Amino acid sequence: MQSTSQPNIYNVSKLNNDIKRLLEGNFGRIWLNAEVSNFVAASSGHWYFTLKDARSQIKCAMFKGRNRAVKFRPQNGQQIMVKANVSVYEPRGDYQLLVDVMDMAGDGLLQQQFEQLKCQLASEGLFATEHKKPLPSQVKRIGIITSPTGAAVQDILTVLKRRNPLVEVVIYPAQVQGQYATNELVHALEVANYRQETDLIIIGRGGGSLEDLWCFNNETLARTIFSSQIPVISAVGHEVDITISDFVADYRAPTPSAAAEIAVDSNEELINKFNYLRQRLVHALTKQVHQEKMSLQQLAHRLSAQDPKYKLQQQAQYLDELNTRLISCTQSKLNHYQQRLHLLNQRLTKQSPQLTISRMAERHKQLTNRLTYATKQMLTTKQSKLHSLLRELNTVSPLATLERGYSISYDDNESVITSSKQVKTGMKMVSQLHQGKVTSIVESIE
């Protein structure tokens, strides 16, 4: 029966990327001892070479930022020790080493062992600051663990004598180089802790190669220093030399002479320290007295602030402030309303009907005068015209004719009789005279 699931199909880039992550995740950083081959220093500053043994080889790259720390130039055929990460160069699908650290084979192996032990003890907390014991401020007796015939012990004794000759010294002899050096150093440190006769222990020696100082990179010695009940100063080699003892000791001195300088104070330093402490005490007492005075003044001020009389005064002052603010506010409001009233009065005056009435009355008077004058003028004109018309009317008026002796006759229908044809015999007619009327009956017509 065929499976219905889809196959996991890779492309080349994804495959190389997955292989790279797999190699880097499983191997991490490794140490490798091998022979250099095909060494090339590129113009970019990066190194490219091959590491090989009798049966296999692997390509390597060391970038410019890393190879600057290498103190020698690798040569083909040279045996070296490298610390590197396993990786894959994806564009070509080549797996390679990315080198971080490079040493010659002998020193490299010791360096590898040093790094391994350093990491192991650090992970156990032997180098942690919280486990460091403080150095005593007053040292009366110092223990020195070193070779009794070496230059280091003489340097330490010379410095101690110069700085404070009253300090006693106990020397615990031990070899500081060779096959039995580590055991003797451990034994001397155990004896010093067993006797508990010193306030401080200095362990160390003068300078030398990595192999010469190797006894101070021993795990047993490191654990013995860590377990010491007496504070330990490690003074191994020169300032550039670093050992496991330096990391685990309570204090690391760059040289044995420096350890003696650190261990004890000189007479002058003791006097200076005494004077400094005296000044600090005086300063502290003065400061304390000043602080107490300030505290007393603050308490007096607080007591005064809590006095009811003071509070009443404050309340009275506050009341006066409120009263002043009230008067000021009231006056301000009053002024505001007075100004507003004045503006309203002005507006009311402008809008008052009295002014309009006065203006209208004046206009009425003017119009009345004009009307009276116009009426008189018109009456005069009309009277003149009437007199003229009356004169003209009088000229053509039948009354004037009647006044000269004529009359006007009317029939019963009050129609003017202008012809004899309108009259019949026996008909009554009325004649209008200049003064009065006459009624007559027609007797004959001509």
Phi/psi region, residue 369 (left: phi>0; alpha: psi -120 to 50; beta: rest), is alpha
pLDDT, position 95: 86
The predicted-structure confidence for 349-404, as pLDDT tens digits, reads as follows: 777 777 778 888 888 889 999 889 988 898 999 888 888 888 887 777 777 777 77
pLDDT, position 191: 96
Would you place residue 1 in the very low, low, confident or very high pLDDT band (cuts 50, 70, 90)? very low
Contact 237, 208 (CB under 8 A): yes
pLDDT exceeds cutoff 70 at 109: no
Q: Which residues pair with 252 in a beta bridge?
A: 234
Domain 12-115, CATH homologous superfamily name and number: Nucleic acid-binding proteins (2.40.50.140)
The predicted-structure confidence for 26-53, as pLDDT tens digits, reads as follows: 677 888 888 899 999 999 999 999 999 8
The predicted-structure confidence for 172-184, as pLDDT tens digits, reads as follows: 999 999 889 999 9
203: part of which helix (H) or strand (E)?
strand 200-205
DSSP structure class, residue 208: -
Collect all residues with Cβ–Cβ distance below 8 Å to 115 and sequence separation of at least 6.
83
Pick the CATH number of 138-264 from 3.40.50.2020, 2.60.40.10, 3.40.50.300, 3.40.50.2300: 3.40.50.2300
E strands present in 343-441: 408-410, 428-432, 437-441
Whole-angstrom Cα distance, residue 17 to residue 85? 16
pTM of the predicted structure, to 2 decimals? 0.45
* Alpha helix positions (H), 124-243: 151-163, 181-195, 219-227
pLDDT exceeds cutoff 90 at 171: yes
pLDDT, position 108: 59
pLDDT, position 229: 95
Average pLDDT over residues 276-302: 84
The predicted-structure confidence for 258-287, as pLDDT tens digits, reads as follows: 999 888 876 666 667 767 888 888 888 888
pLDDT, position 182: 93
pLDDT exceeds cutoff 70 at 77: yes
Nearest to 243 by CA among 203, 186, 272, 279: 203
Whole-angstrom Cα distance, residue 51 to residue 71? 19
Residue type, 212: D
pLDDT, position 401: 73
- 40: tokens are 């090339």
Percent of the chain residues past pLDDT 90, beyond the cut:
30
- 327: tokens are 């008067």
Whole-angstrom Cα distance, residue 388 to residue 152? 168
Distances from the Cα of 341 to the Cαs of 115, 287, 354, in angstroms?
A: 99, 69, 20
Whole-angstrom Cα distance, residue 252 to residue 127? 12
Computed over every residue of the chain, the mean pLDDT equals: 85
The predicted-structure confidence for 116-167, as pLDDT tens digits, reads as follows: 889 999 999 999 999 999 999 888 999 999 999 988 999 999 999 988 888 9
Whole-angstrom Cα distance, residue 240 to residue 246? 12
* Alpha helix positions (H), 180-266: 181-195, 219-227, 244-248, 256-263
